[in-house]
Amino acid sequence: MKKLLYFIFVIMVVSFIVTGCNVIQSSLPPNSPAGGDFYICENLMKGFYTALSNRNFAQALTYCKSGGISFKFANGLWDASQDYPLFYADFDIYNLHGHEYLTTNKIAIHYDESSTTMDNYGNSYNTLFYGNQLMLFEKINGQWLLM
């Protein structure tokens, strides 16, 4: 019986360690009063960069305010992907911090980012790290969008 309990305990510990790796954690406490809007904006940003990394530019544009900086950035990457179809960028975001309301309908979140240029053959060319980046969000018709 002791061996069974020990085995179950070891399996639980290993599963907690494995599932905790490579997960972007929110920097907000779960009981933060402004957490709802900040969580939504964090998830929008994660979805945006995931779509860009997967070269799903149409999906990335759905997270953006039309004509905004993020919209222009995604369109620029889309244009570049048409000119250089064998190359793409892989984006990683981490260390989300500095959540703040600028107005009741605008939020700013600071984050760190890295991007790696890759090709379809699995080669990576360079990785660039950008610290303390700023992402702005605007609530339009009740929906948060990247500016």
Please tell me the predicted confidence (pLDDT) of residue 2.
59
Confidence band of 115 (pLDDT split at 50, 70, 90): very high
What does the pLDDT read at residue 144? 96
Average pLDDT over residues 102-109: 95
Over residues 69-89, mean pLDDT = 95
What per-residue confidence (pLDDT) applies to 122?
Answer: 84
The domain over range 34-146 is classified in CATH as 3.30.420.10? no
pLDDT at 3: 58
How much is the pLDDT for 12? 53
Instruction: Express each pLDDT in 120-142 by its tens digit.
Output: 888 888 999 999 999 999 999 99
pLDDT of residue 51: 97
Tell me, what's the pLDDT at 80? 94
> Domain residue spans in the chain?
34-146
Three state DSSP letters for the chain: CHHHHHHHHHHHHHHHHHHHCCCCCCCCCCCCCCHHHHHHHHHHHHHHHHHHHCCCHHHHHHCECCCCHHHHHHHHHHHHHHHCCCEEEEEEEEEEEEEEEEECCEEEEEEEEEEEEEECCCCEEEEEEEEEEEEEEEEECCEEEEC
Segment 12-70, tens digit of pLDDT: 544 444 444 444 445 544 445 556 899 999 999 999 999 999 999 999 999 999 999 99
